[in-house]
């Protein structure tokens, strides 16, 4: 697909992978709807996009809130007349807690953002894509969604859910012109990862590699490819 002048909604785009994806798409001529819960961070990314000649707008969005998901999607559509690309990137994690010590509060904290948030944003954006008869959805999973982990129980469960939901959604949309795929990265060098391991790791995936994978799925992946994940681990 030629993505120049397409409209992309990216969740959690104020920092980390979301920021990198936004910048990568902007460099390819995509108009970016930057969404997240911190307006200051979103504005910084918008300035970076402006500095490279790109086009973006910021929208406050808590992906766990169904009303906000629908309202922001409507606002973006009314602003630009289309939502062609959705990247569900927003995510949270809790470190170093055995699965059996998971509290109900821990469970909902992770599930609400990682899985429910993905569902709500897809649900809000899909009517616009279906009306147009085309669209691309990319859900960010994790290697934890393919390989069990003993210390990140709710996170792993949420990402297994994202993988399953992506496959099911893709199958349900066959014939509608909407392609749904995802990316399962291992540790990515972000501020969230370095909050846990400050020194980082040379084997971590870079943010630009995630951005490149998104661009590949949008521009070079076979058009028949849907319901699949690129594993980067």
Tens digit of each residue's pLDDT, the chain (233 residues): 899 999 999 999 999 999 999 999 999 999 999 999 999 999 999 999 999 999 999 999 999 999 999 999 999 999 999 999 999 999 999 877 788 889 999 999 999 999 999 999 999 999 999 999 999 999 999 998 888 777 778 999 999 999 999 999 999 999 999 999 999 999 899 988 898 889 999 999 999 999 999 999 999 999 999 999 999 98
**How far does Cα 168 stand from its chain's mean position?**
17
In angstroms, the CA 1 to CA 3 distance is 6
pTM of this structure: 0.95
- The residues annotated with a catalytic role in the active site are 155
Alpha helices in 8-152 (DSSP H): 16-27, 39-51, 66-80, 104-111, 117-132
Would you state the pLDDT for residue 153? 87
Would you state the pLDDT for residue 58? 98
Would you state the pLDDT for residue 77? 98
Fold entry, domain 7-232? Rossmann fold (3.40.50)
Would you state the pLDDT for residue 143? 93
In angstroms, the CA 69 to CA 78 distance is 14
Q: How far is CA 57 from CA 18, 32, 34, 45, 49, in A?
A: 14, 7, 6, 10, 10
Q: 132-169 b/e with 16+ CB inside 10 Å = b?
A: eeebbbbbbbbbbbbeeeeebbbbbbbbbbbbebbbeb
| Token pair recorded at residue 229 | 């994940």
The residues near 62 (Cβ < 8 Å, ≥ 6 apart) are 37, 68
| Token pair recorded at residue 95 | 């470190």
């Amino acid at each position: 697909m030629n993505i120049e002048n397409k409209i992309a909604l990216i969740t959690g785009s104020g920092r980390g992978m979301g920021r990198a994806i936004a910048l990568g798409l902007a460099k390819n001529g995509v108009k970016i709807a930057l969404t997240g819960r911190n307006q200051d961070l979103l504005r910084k990314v918008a300035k970076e996009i402006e500095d490279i000649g790109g086009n973006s707008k910021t929208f406050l969005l808590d992906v766990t809130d169904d009303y906000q998901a629908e309202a922001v999607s409507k606002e973006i559509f009314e602003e630009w007349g289309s939502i062609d690309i959705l990247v569900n990137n927003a995510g949270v994690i809790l470190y170093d807690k055995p699965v059996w010590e998971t509290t109900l509060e821990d469970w909902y904290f992770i599930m609400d953002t990682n899985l429910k948030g993905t569902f709500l944003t897809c649900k809000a954006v899909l009517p616009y894509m279906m009306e147009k008869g085309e669209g691309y959805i990319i859900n960010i999973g994790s290697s934890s969604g393919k390989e069990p982990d003993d210390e990140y129980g709710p996170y792993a469960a949420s990402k297994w859910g994202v993988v399953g939901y992506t496959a099911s959604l893709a199958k349900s949309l066959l014939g509608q012109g909407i392609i749904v795929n995802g990316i399962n990265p291992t540790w990515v060098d972000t501020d969230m990862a370095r909050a846990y391991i400050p020194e980082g790791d040379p084997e971590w995936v870079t943010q630009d590699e995630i951005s490149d994978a998104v661009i590949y799925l949008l521009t070079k992946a076979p058009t028949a490819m849907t319901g699949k994940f690129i594993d980067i681990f």
